[in-house]
């Protein structure tokens, strides 16, 4: 493990294994420790890198709100690659981390061998975006007023109860790690990363232009992300979509063996040069091939 200066802050970075690099980018409620089941699996054959975003101890927690934002999150991800002399990596992101991985892919496609976009898209769906923004800012204010992360509320949220029901011990560990997060860092991340990032529905042309192999993964009970991933599948011709049944937001913890096997297969397909663009003939709602 190391603390590396990047873009004016120092980030906690953990590295395990050797081979082609994979960089894991965590979600809002998690941190580098959330990727333990993946690091243990993939480090036998890959160089695995996981880091804590700014605002997540032991990475720096800036008090200044202007030192948070999606542009900084994306720059930090690139900064980790630069600091470790990684020219190109497989990027695996969950939720907030998936969005950051996608932004890096769009802005610096030469740095991303392939992207796993897991449980991404919260707050993007047009019909519920206004409520998402209101809820996000309300939770940020609650955290600041209490000077404590709302562990009980977040860990028992509607897309996290699936983990609790499937594996109580893993859920308790997730909640324990969440309780250690910084109130200031969490609140500023909610306000200036989650609530201020563009909706994916406003980036249609940019998404359509992405040629990097992309695997979209979502749980069928992750209501805030399910429709978004269908939109992404229909928009990104070089993407594939996997939907986990009876699953919520924390897919890598809920179903680690299935998650790891899916990513293994995806990486091997990319390495073999067999991940292709969607056949344009399939891009129609007609069952008979008629253009609409």
How large is the average pLDDT for residues 118-142?
A: 92
How large is the average pLDDT for residues 50-65?
A: 97
pLDDT of residue 286: 75
pLDDT of residue 288: 74
Query: pLDDT digit string (tens) for 65-75?
Result: 999 999 999 99
Domains of the chain in start order, with CATH, are 2-277 (3.40.50.1820)
pLDDT of residue 290: 63
Q: 46-50, 101-105, 280-284: lowest mean pLDDT where?
A: 280-284
Kindly indicate the confidence band of residue 129, based on its pLDDT and cuts at 50, 70 and 90.
very high
Q: What is the 3-class SS of the chain, one letter each residue?
A: CEEEEECCEEEEEEEECCCEEEEEECCCCCCHHHHHHHHHHHCCCEEEEEECCCCCCCCCCCCCHHHCCHHHHHHHHHHHHHHCCCCCEEEEEECHHHHHHHHHHHHCHHHEEEEEEECCCCCCCHHHHHHHHHHHHHHHHHHHHHCCCCHHHHHCCCCCHHHHHHCHHHHHHHHHHHHCCCHHHHHHHHHHHHCCCCCHHHCHHHHHCCCCCEEEEEECCCHHHHHHHHHHHHHCCCEEEEEECCCCCCHHHHCHHHHHHHHHHHHHHHHCCCCCCCCHHHCCCCCCCCCC
List the one residue out of 129, 114, 123 whose CA is nearest residue 269. Answer: 114
Query: pLDDT digit string (tens) for 165-196?
Result: 999 999 999 999 999 999 999 999 999 999 99
pLDDT of residue 292: 53
Say yes or no to pLDDT of 289 above 80.
no
Say yes or no to pLDDT of 11 above 60.
yes
pLDDT of residue 125: 87
- The Cβ-side half-sphere exposure at 99, using a 13 Å CA radius, reads 26
Query: pLDDT digit string (tens) for 194-240?
Result: 999 999 999 999 999 999 999 999 999 999 999 999 999 999 999 99
């Amino acid at each position: 493990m190391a603390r590396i200066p990047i873009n004016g802050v120092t980030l906690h970075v953990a590295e395990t294994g050797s081979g082609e690099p994979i960089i894991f980018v965590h979600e809002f409620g998690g941190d580098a420790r959330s990727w333990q089941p993946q690091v243990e699996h993939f480090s036998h054959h890959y160089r695995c890198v996981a880091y804590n975003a700014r605002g997540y101890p032991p990475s720096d927690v800036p008090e200044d709100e202007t030192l948070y934002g999606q542009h900084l999150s994306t720059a930090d991800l690139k900064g980790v690659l630069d600091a470790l002399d990684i020219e190109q990596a497989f990027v695996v992101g969950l939720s907030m981390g998936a969005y950051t991985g996608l932004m890096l892919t769009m802005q610096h496609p030469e740095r991303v061998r392939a992207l796993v976009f897991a449980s991404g898209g919260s707050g993007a769906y047009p019909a519920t975006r206004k409520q998402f923004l209101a809820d996000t800012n309300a939770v940020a204010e609650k955290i600041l007023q209490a000077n404590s992360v709302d562990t009980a509320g977040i860990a028992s949220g509607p897309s996290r109860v699936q983990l609790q029901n499937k594996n109580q011990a893993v859920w308790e560990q997730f909640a324990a790690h969440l309780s250690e997060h910084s109130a200031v860092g969490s609140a500023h991340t909610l306000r200036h990363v989650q609530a201020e990032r563009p909706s994916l529905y406003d980036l249609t042309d940019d998404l359509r232009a992405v040629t990097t192999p992309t695997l979209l993964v979502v749980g069928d009970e992750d209501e805030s992300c399910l429709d978004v991933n269908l939109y992404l599948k229909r928009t990104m011709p070089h993407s594939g979509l996997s939907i986990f049944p009876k699953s919520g937001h924390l897919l890598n913890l809920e179903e680690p063996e299935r998650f790891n096997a899916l990513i293994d297969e995806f990486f091997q397909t990319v390495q073999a040069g067999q991940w292709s663009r969607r056949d344009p003939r399939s891009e129609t709602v007609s069952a008979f091939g008629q253009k609409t």
